[in-house]
């Protein structure tokens, strides 16, 4: 193995065209870390926000290697590693929100943040799972405390987080209402959504009866209007961090007697194992909308930024 690898380097924050494919040194795993030969990388909106100087840009040092969602094969292990061996297929969200250095042929990851990929799952699907899957799980179960049979509304349900949240809520036998454009309705019906709202032609608050929980992947005006469909005592979990602590949302939530929470997803190997279990028995299907080779990073980011993906955009290496 040569000591060098290809990586997508970001020399400066800016547009997608800022990326450069360059040769850099392969990193070495320290204690508790493993070196992964990266096979696929999941993209998330935080990737393009960070690239443009927002998101978690302040956590990066330029030139940076962006990306957090990694699926690949273990090729060497650091001292004290007991969970994985060379040859294991593993996946996880690496080091978020600190640099994950995913957009490369090799990456060093913490063993406690990763899990084994089920045998029936491809590297592409595995790479599409971590950040979106961990977010959907945390939002529904840790922050909203969703229980069996509740009524849940999922905003931006056809997206990365949304389509996984739909399936996790259905797993708990919830009634699930969801917003998406009409083109994505057949996809969401297949995932088990009970009531679909075309956000382009309908106002969800006019057609969805009161719910216990809203998972909101839009923020802003959608978050504000979401409060109107919640039962008293209900919970809105809003995801886009740029709207965190929106005073208008806090004021309306207080007025209506509902709770509102913003969250920041955290890496977790244990949660990855739970998601792996659901993937292994087909309870969870992660949709890969489009794949691009790593060398096509510019086009992949342009597609991601368009904001109308069906499931996940994934890079292959
Ligand atoms: N705080 C956290 O820890 C955290 C974690 C993960 C994600 N996030 C944030 O949560 C948001 C969603 O993430 P994601 O990965 O799911 O994004 P995504 O995959 O890019 O979401 C794209 C989806 O949004 C839908 N959409 C666009 N406009 C809509 C509207 N007005 N109403 C309903 N749906 C609409 C699109 O559906 P159509 O194609 O049908 O229009 C598309 O399927 C992002 O802002 C992301 O940064 C935050």
Say how many CA atoms lie within 13 Å of 284 toward its Cβ. Answer: 33
Measured CA to CA in angstroms, residue 107 lies from 27, 71, 193 at distances of: 7, 10, 37
Among protein residues, the one with the nearest Cα to ligand 1's atom 15 is 160
**CATH number, domain containing residue 40:** 3.90.180.10
d(C-alpha 210, C-alpha 227), whole Å: 10
The whole-number average pLDDT for the span 302-314 is 96
State the pLDDT confidence band at 229, using cuts at 50, 70 and 90. very high
Q: Is the CB of 159 under 6 A from ligand 1?
A: yes
Question: Domain check: are 110 and 139 in the same one?
Answer: no
- 240 Cα to the center of ligand 1, angstroms: 8
d(C-alpha 214, C-alpha 230), whole Å: 7
Domain membership of residue 267 (yes or no) is no
Q: Is the CB of 100 under 6 A from ligand 1?
A: no
Among the candidates 247, 262, 277, a domain finishes at 262
- 101 Cα to the center of ligand 1, angstroms: 23
Q: What is the DSSP letter of 10?
A: B
Domain membership of residue 148 (yes or no) is yes
Question: Domain check: are 308 and 248 in the same one?
Answer: no
Q: What was the pLDDT predicted at 1?
A: 72
Domain span at residue 112? 4-129+286-316
Question: Domain check: are 168 and 210 in the same one?
Answer: yes
* Digit-coded pLDDT (tens) for 79-126: 999 999 999 999 999 999 999 999 999 999 999 999 999 999 999 999
The whole-number average pLDDT for the span 165-170 is 98
Domain membership of residue 270 (yes or no) is no
Question: Domain check: are 17 and 117 in the same one?
Answer: yes
Pocket test for ligand 1, best of 307, 310, 312 (most atoms within 8 A of CB): 307
* Digit-coded pLDDT (tens) for 45-54: 999 999 999 9
Q: What was the pLDDT predicted at 226?
A: 98
**CATH number, domain containing residue 214:** 3.40.50.720
Q: What's the whole-number average pLDDT of the chain? A: 98
Q: Which atom of ligand 1 is nearest to the CA of 155?
A: 33
Domain membership of residue 111 (yes or no) is yes
Question: Domain check: are 103 and 17 in the same one?
Answer: yes
Query: Where does residue 199 rank: exposed (0-12), middle (13-18), buried (19+ CB within 10 A)?
Result: middle
User: What whole-number percentage of the chain has pLDDT above 90?
Assistant: 99
Q: What was the pLDDT predicted at 183?
A: 97
Among protein residues, the one with the nearest Cα to ligand 1's atom 36 is 308
Question: Domain check: are 204 and 99 in the same one?
Answer: no
Question: Domain check: are 119 and 148 in the same one?
Answer: no
Q: Is the pLDDT of residue 206 over 90?
A: yes
Question: Domain check: are 124 and 140 in the same one?
Answer: no
Domain membership of residue 218 (yes or no) is yes
Pocket test for ligand 1, best of 156, 157, 199 (most atoms within 8 A of CB): 156
- 92 Cα to the center of ligand 1, angstroms: 20
The whole-number average pLDDT for the span 173-187 is 98
Domain membership of residue 271 (yes or no) is no
Question: Domain check: are 94 and 212 in the same one?
Answer: no
Q: Is the CB of 218 under 6 A from ligand 1?
A: yes
Say how many CA atoms lie within 13 Å of 278 toward its Cβ. Answer: 24
The whole-number average pLDDT for the span 4-26 is 98
Domain membership of residue 28 (yes or no) is yes
Question: Domain check: are 123 and 144 in the same one?
Answer: no
Q: What was the pLDDT predicted at 13?
A: 98
Q: Is the CB of 129 under 6 A from ligand 1?
A: no
Question: Domain check: are 93 and 190 in the same one?
Answer: no
The whole-number average pLDDT for the span 270-297 is 98
Phi and psi based region of residue 89 (left: phi greater than 0; alpha: psi -120 to 50; beta: remaining):
beta
State the pLDDT confidence band at 41, using cuts at 50, 70 and 90. very high
What's the domain count of the chain? 2
- 146 Cα to the center of ligand 1, angstroms: 20
- 239 Cα to the center of ligand 1, angstroms: 9
Q: Give the containing element (helix H, strand E) for 8.
A: strand 4-9
Question: Domain check: are 164 and 106 in the same one?
Answer: no
Question: Radius of gyration of the chain from Cα atoms?
Answer: 19
Which ranges constitute the DSSP H helices of the chain?
45-51, 123-127, 130-137, 160-171, 185-190, 204-207, 221-226, 247-256, 269-280, 297-305
d(C-alpha 37, C-alpha 19), whole Å: 21
- 314 Cα to the center of ligand 1, angstroms: 16
Domain membership of residue 278 (yes or no) is no
Q: Is the pLDDT of residue 153 over 90?
A: yes
Q: Which atom of ligand 1 is nearest to the CA of 199?
A: 32
Among protein residues, the one with the nearest Cα to ligand 1's atom 9 is 240
Q: Which atom of ligand 1 is nearest to the CA of 179?
A: 33
- 160 Cα to the center of ligand 1, angstroms: 7
Which has the closest alpha carbon to 190: 176, 208, 210, 172?
Answer: 176
Contact 211, 228 (CB under 8 A): no
């Amino acid at each position: 193995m040569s000591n060098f690898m290809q990586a997508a380097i970001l020399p400066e924050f800016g547009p997608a065209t800022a990326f450069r494919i360059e040769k850099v040194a392969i990193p070495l795993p320290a204690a508790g870390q493993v070196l992964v030969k990266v096979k696929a990388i999941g993209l998330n909106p935080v990737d393009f926000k960070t690239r443009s100087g927002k998101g978690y840009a302040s956590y990066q040092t330029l030139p940076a290697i962006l990306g957090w969602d990694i699926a690949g094969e273990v090729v060497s292990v650091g001292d004290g590693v007991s969970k994985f061996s060379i040859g294991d297929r593993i996946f996880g969200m690496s080091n978020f929100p600190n640099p994950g250095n995913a957009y490369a042929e090799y990456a060093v990851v913490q063993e406690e943040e990763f899990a084994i990929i089920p045998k029936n799952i491809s590297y592409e699907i595995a790479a599409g799972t971590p950040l979106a899957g961990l977010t959907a799980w945390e939002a529904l179960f840790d922050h909203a405390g969703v229980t069996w049979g509740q009524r849940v509304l999922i905003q931006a349900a056809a997206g990365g987080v949304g389509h996984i949240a739909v399936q996790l809520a259905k797993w708990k036998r919830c009634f699930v209402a969801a917003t998406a454009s009409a083109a994505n309705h057949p996809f969401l019906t297949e995932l088990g959504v009970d009531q679909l709202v075309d956000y382009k032609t309908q106002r969800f608050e006019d057609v969805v009866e009161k719910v216990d929980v809203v998972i909101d992947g839009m923020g802003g005006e959608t978050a504000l209007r979401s409060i109107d469909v919640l039962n008293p005592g209900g919970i809105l979990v809003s995801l886009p961090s740029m709207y965190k602590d929106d005073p208008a949302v806090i004021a309306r939530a207080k007025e209506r007697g509902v709770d509102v929470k913003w969250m920041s997803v955290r890496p977790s190997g244990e949660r990855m194992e739970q998601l792996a279990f659901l993937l292994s028995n087909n309870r969870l299907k992660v949709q890969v909308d489009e794949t691009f080779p790593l060398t096509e990073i510019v086009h992949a980011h342009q597609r991601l930024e368009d904001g109308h993906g069906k499931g996940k955009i994934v890079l292959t290496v």
